[in-house]
Amino acid sequence: MKSSIFKPFLFIALAAVTMGCLQSCKPKGTQSAAVGDASKAYVAPGKYDEFYNFVSGGFSGQMSVYGIPSGRLFRVIPVFSVDPEKGYGYSEETKAMLNTSHGFVPWDDLHHIALSETDGIQDGRWVFGNGNNTPRIARVDLKTFKTAEIIEIPNSAGNHSSPFITENSEYVVAGTRFSIPMDNSNGDVPINTYKQNFKGTVSFIAVDKTTGNMNIAFQILLPGVNFDLARAGKGKSHGWMFFSCYNSEKANTLLEVNASQKDKDFIMAVNWKKAEEYVKAGKGKKVPVKYAHNIYDEQKHMATSIIEKEVTMLDSKELADMVYLMPCPKSPHGCDTDPTGEYIVGSGKLAAMIPVFSFTKIQDAIAAKNYEGEYDGIPVLKYDAVLHGEVKKPGLGPLHTEFDDKGFAYTSFFVSSEIVKWNVKTLEVVDRVPTYYSVGHLSIPGGPTKKPWGKYLIAYNKITKDRYLPTGPELAQSAQLFDISGDKMKMILDFPTIGEPHYAEAIPADLIAKNSQKIYKIEENKNPYATLGDKFARVERKGNEIHVYMTSIRSHFTPDNIEGVKMGDMVYFHVTNLEQDWDVPHGFAVKGANNAELLIMPGETQTLAWKPEKPGVYPMYCTDFCSALHQEMQGYIRVSPAGSSVPLTFSTGKTEPVATTATEKK
């Protein structure tokens, strides 16, 4: 208590010193220690990487895919942000993916990655990511590397402790960072009534075993603290979920000081099997809410969005034996469970040690009701009763812990810019290595699962400073690859990243590569605007709408000359790529379009809406270099004044357009 006021300032001063150093000097020995042996990361041209690495894009809202150990970037998957490169969020078919209860939201902040699991082992089917700002969870299908589904999370704000997955992908969970007045209450309250009116929730989103489709099975109503991160129990602790919480002070202003008053915040343990029983027994309340649920149909090549109206809420105050709190030193950030499921590691950002909790001891303490008290009606277990032990003096500012296949844990230290390796059982520190600079998350292939694949560790650094050639005020964030196959960690590669990565997960390449889809079968194309052959290509007028049913195949569009569009018309180009070969997308762009291009995969149909601004002739062309005659893949569309008598015509390969009428088809 006596030291509680100056401690935060001490920390800030400490951080300031460290930051000052980052700005003015390199750590000692930078030149020797910071240069790794890149030969271990070398993957020869034409050779494949051992692992796929799915990396969150942070404020880019996307997910990127790298090869490990080479650090080669393969792809950026658009998830929560529009992507003009792929037409994502711009094409008529994909716009609905970004629908929310707030309308179209074309951006988010993606922090965490969760690969699907079976039996606690990565299965390579789906990867999930969180939208932090407008609470959402996305599911990416790893056959197509496309975002297949996005579900919004009601009663939530700042969806940070999300998505974390259970060992058979029963659930992905989402905890709210900000506590808020609940969606169905009067939210128009003074902010300083936080303690009375603000609540937290965690959500359990069920994942369908076959389709992967998500639905919010239940939410748990909780005290108004901040939920930061989470991990599922596994093995013996399967059925439990652990969340880190800070701001147990319930401050609503200047949290850097006011949420750092207490010596301990909490790790929250949720018995979700118990929660399931309560739901089955009808103990949940149906609460009115509004949230969007968006699904991309692979055969229609089209997303639909529906607004859901209700969620099942379990109240932690009323329902016993479901939620417990464990004191955890000073504003825990990471909350990680080891591969055996026995140990739960809390990482107090402001603590000078790492507490490790024991699942067995937690169960014993619960059975013996070994509580030190209650917090908002939730039992608080005694710290000493549930503690396995503390890693002493590991470093400054512990954030996240990842695990290898040999019983070691690796914790990132933001303030002291280092990774510390320690033995999970004995809690002994066995190695430490600097990172450049200010590391956030760590990632070991399979690290959060029952079966870490080990071998490599990737550090995601927040600051790069002098690591790369300067690029003006804005610098890349950086990943650093370490070889962890021996006793000592060895840095072997640096590579810049997209956006600001937080968490990432890596998975053996063969779990995904063998299932990777090459084309969409044209005979399975159920898009209502598909044109399944050149002979069906056509242009139709419906009032002020012009529908262009267009095909693309090397190296022309059908039709490629269109006349009779008038000012005031809305033109929809429905482009079907008729190719059935791998790696032959076609693009489509029209001059002056206010949206983006389309990038259409073989067998796929996508639609671009275009409203011409003045009469004239507008060129359109293929944007993706598809053959030696790609540059010939082009056409024109003529726009006439409103009320003009130019008939609607279309053609390909004719110098005289063929007349058509609105009713003529095929």
Residue located via tokens 């922090």: 111
* Residue 330 contacts ligand CUA per CB under 6 A: no
* Residue 503 contacts ligand K7E per CB under 6 A: yes
Question: Quick one: tokens of 364?
Answer: 């014993």
Q: Which of 134, 586, 599, 603 binds ligand CUA (CB under 6 A)?
A: 586
Residue located via tokens 């280092």: 418
Strand (E) or helix (H) holding 87: none
* Residue 620 contacts ligand CUA per CB under 6 A: no
For the chain, the distance separating the N- and C-terminal CA atoms, rounded to the nearest angstrom, is 81
Q: Which of 356, 506, 622, 637 binds ligand CUA (CB under 6 A)?
A: 622
* Residue 335 contacts ligand K7E per CB under 6 A: no
Residue nearest to ligand K7E (CB): 440
Q: How far is the CB of 624 from ligand CUA (least distance, A)?
A: 5
Kindly compute the dihedral angle of the four CA atoms of residues 447, 449, 454, 458, in this order, to the nearest 10 degrees: -20
Q: State which residue, 248 or 438, has the beta carbon closest to ligand K7E.
A: 438
* Residue 610 contacts ligand K7E per CB under 6 A: no
Q: How far is the CB of 586 from ligand CUA (least distance, A)?
A: 4
Number of residues that bind ligand CUA (CB under 6 A): 9
* Residue 345 contacts ligand CUA per CB under 6 A: no
Signed CA dihedral, 383, 384, 387, 392: sign only: positive
Residue 481: how many other CB atoms lie within 10 Å? 26
Instruction: Give the β-pairing of 561-566 and 634-640.
Output: parallel
Q: Which of 123, 372, 376, 624 binds ligand CUA (CB under 6 A)?
A: 624
The one segment of 34-42, 350-358, 456-464, 624-632 that binds ligand CUA by CB under 6 A: 624-632
Amino acid at site 177: R
| Nearest C-alpha neighbor of 421 from the set 498, 497, 484, 332 | 484
Provide DSSP, 499-530. Answer: S----EEEEETHHHHTT------GGG---TT-
Instruction: Tell me if 111 sits within 8 A of 85, measured CB to CB.
Output: no
* Residue 502 contacts ligand K7E per CB under 6 A: yes
What three-state secondary structure class fits 334?
strand
Q: Which of residues 408-437 bind ligand K7E (CB under 6 A)?
A: none
Instruction: Tell me if 650 sits within 8 A of 657, measured CB to CB.
Output: yes
Question: Quick one: tokens of 262?
Answer: 């207490």
Q: How far is the CB of 416 from ligand K7E (least distance, A)?
A: 15
Q: Which of residues 54-83 bind ligand K7E (CB under 6 A)?
A: none
Q: State which residue, 15 or 570, has the beta carbon closest to ligand K7E.
A: 15
Q: State which residue, 421 or 556, has the beta carbon closest to ligand CUA.
A: 556
Q: Which of 26, 262, 630, 638 binds ligand CUA (CB under 6 A)?
A: 630
Q: Which of residues 105-124 bind ligand K7E (CB under 6 A)?
A: 111-112
100 vs 219: CA distance, rounded Å: 19
Q: How far is the CB of 657 from ligand K7E (least distance, A)?
A: 57
Q: Site residues (CB under 6 A) for ligand K7E?
A: 111-112, 160, 229, 333, 399-400, 440-441, 502-503
Q: Site residues (CB under 6 A) for ligand CUA?
A: 552, 555, 586, 622, 624-626, 630, 633
